[in-house]
Homo-oligomer: A and B are copies of this chain.
Amino acid sequence: MRNAMEAGFKLDHRLENDTVKLASWPLSEVLLMNDSQYPWVILVPRHEGATEIYQLTIDEQAQLLKESAFLGEALMTLCSGEKLNVAALGNVVNQLHLHHVVRFSSDKAWPGPVWGKYSVVPYSDDALKGVIGLLGSIADKCWG
């Protein structure tokens, strides 16, 4: 999976600022969105310059699907979520990234989407440590 595209990869600074890294999987960086309002993890394929899923190679697309399905199911199980929202949007940050947000009918933005609705509420330092520990163990279980 390592190639020239990956060699030149650099995480967008806005994604870097908004998230905490949980793991590096074969294709993607696994990033916790630092928003305590929703369990929210982002996959960023290390393919420099890609903005759309169809711009990945066929092998990378298959790997992204594998990582996304694993992550989505693990998050839903861990959090006893009601619905998973999976989305590649990129209207603001166009570096390809795939959101995974666990939703509850009791959450603030329900049933609307979470993007651009309410300001982010960062985790406290202690809560962040707890969440990183919990999600980090999932991440390690797979390709950590």
A interface vs B, CB < 8 Å? 51-54, 61-62, 65, 68-70, 72-73, 76, 83-92, 94, 103, 110-113, 115-116
Contact = CB atoms under 8 A, between A and B. Distances in A.
A112 B84 CA distance: 19
Nearest to A114: B113
Given A53-B69, A61-B69, A65-B65, 7 more contacts: A52-B73, A53-B86, A61-B65, A83-B89, A83-B91, A85-B88, A85-B89
A80 to B, nearest CB: 14
B90 A87 contact: no
Contacts of A73: 52, 54
B68 A53 contact: yes
A90 to B, nearest CB: 6
A21 to B, nearest CB: 23
Contacts of A72: 52-54
A91 B62 contact: no
A54 B70 CA distance: 8
A60 to B, nearest CB: 11
22 contacts: A51-B83, A52-B72, A53-B68, A54-B72, A61-B69, A62-B65, A65-B65, A83-B91, A84-B88, A85-B87, A85-B89, A86-B88, A87-B88, A87-B89, A87-B113, A89-B113, A91-B103, A91-B111, A91-B112, A112-B115, A112-B116, A113-B115
